[in-house]
Amino acid sequence: MKIVLLAPPGSGKGTQAKMLADKYGIPHISTGDILRDNIRAKTELGVEVGSYMEKGELVPDGVLVEMIRGRLLHPDYASGFLLDGYPRTLPQADELSKILNERRNRLDAVLYIDVPDDVLIKRLSGRRMCTCRASYHLLFNPPERDGICDHCGKKLYQRDDDREEAIKTRLEIYKQRTQPLISYYAKEGIMLTVNGAAEISEVFTRICRLFDD
């Protein structure tokens, strides 16, 4: 199977991707992992990516496309993959089609994990951090004492990008850039949608039903 996974931040996309890759025996290709691998290996593309990330800038589409092409055209991925984090825009989707056409391949399915904004905000805003690098979530793994780290006893803090207003901005950017892909892939007849507003195991069960039917 050749699958693209689409989902907003806070949807649990990464967790579901790994579980699906294990169940169906297909490689999980994470755009974030590819970027980090290239940066660690100090490849030519990795050095370029690092320069953008150090300045807080978005990695240009052209650089991402070359990284994705290098991974997808590798023989290990000829029989299938689960692509997580790419494409995120319509131009990237067009480039992905071109890459697959180079091997006379096409996507089998695009899975969209749909989660309401209020649920996403609750999930994302619940994270709390400590200077000792421990992390917690007020809903899923809260500290034993409210606002205090279990490991070092220091006061926990909330990152600026985990605050509600910042999250709303992230979600708005996501909708503008990524949601048009839903219509794009629906026209190709390969769009699958699952309700992601549930426990991890339940969402996974729902996804498997879609693929097993």
Question: Which residues have a Cβ under 8 Å from the Cβ of 161 and sit 6 or more positions away?
Answer: 167, 170
Residue of 2, 71, 123, 127 with catalytic role: 127
Q: Both tokens of residue 120?
A: 């996403």
Residue of 2, 71, 123, 170 with catalytic role: 170
Residue of 13, 71, 123, 128 with catalytic role: 13
Q: Are 167 and 157 contacting, i.e. CB atoms less than 8 angstroms apart?
A: no
159 among known catalytic residues? yes
13 among known catalytic residues? yes
Question: φ and ψ at 146, to 5 degrees?
Answer: -55, 120
Residue of 159, 163, 175, 209 with catalytic role: 159
Q: Are 66 and 45 contacting, i.e. CB atoms less than 8 angstroms apart?
A: yes
Q: Are 130 and 156 contacting, i.e. CB atoms less than 8 angstroms apart?
A: yes
Residue of 88, 122, 168, 206 with catalytic role: 88
- d(CA 213, CA 203) in angstroms, rounded, equals 16
103 among known catalytic residues? no
**127 residue type, one letter:** R
Q: Both tokens of residue 15?
A: 């967790």
88 among known catalytic residues? yes
127 among known catalytic residues? yes
Residue that is written with structure tokens 């992230």 in the block: 170
- Catalytic residue set: 13, 88, 127, 159, 170
